[in-house]
Amino acid sequence: MRLNETLQADLAPQARTSQAVASRVDGVPPPGSNLFSVASELDVNISQMSRWELVDFIKQADVPLCDDTVARLDYLARPDLERLAFLTRRCCRNQINTFRQARGEAAPFIADL
């Protein structure tokens, strides 16, 4: 089973009496499905992506970027896009780890330094 499928199965809300309770744990919303694919991307794969793949990779994650930044992604240089891709992956990993820790579970991703 791939890492994404394992994480999605682990993060699926457990059966509870209320959907509102199942969708949030201590005020932390569950991560979206795109976060799993972004969070599990390898360094090597990100480094080998083309400019357009990097733009798509950054856009597919729901990260708190300014609207102006998202609109200008097509015009950024490749090193800037690669850096944003790594930051996007870090943000997704942090969201997943925060959700897991709020549920009292171990974080699946080692904190990026």
Q: What is the pLDDT, as a whole number, of residue 20? A: 42
Q: What is the pLDDT, as a whole number, of residue 61? A: 83
State the Cα–Cα distance between residues 99 and 78, nearest whole angstrom: 32
pTM of the model: 0.69
State the Cα–Cα distance between residues 37 and 33, nearest whole angstrom: 8
Domain boundaries, the chain: 3-102
Block mean pLDDT (10 aa), the chain, length 113: 52 44 51 80 94 92 73 91 93 86 81 58
Q: Which residues contact 88 (CB under 8 A, 6 or more apart)?
A: 38, 57, 58, 61, 63
Cβ-count burial 66-82 (b if 16+ within 10 Å, e if not): eeeeeeebeebeeeebb
Q: What is the pLDDT, as a whole number, of residue 31? A: 64
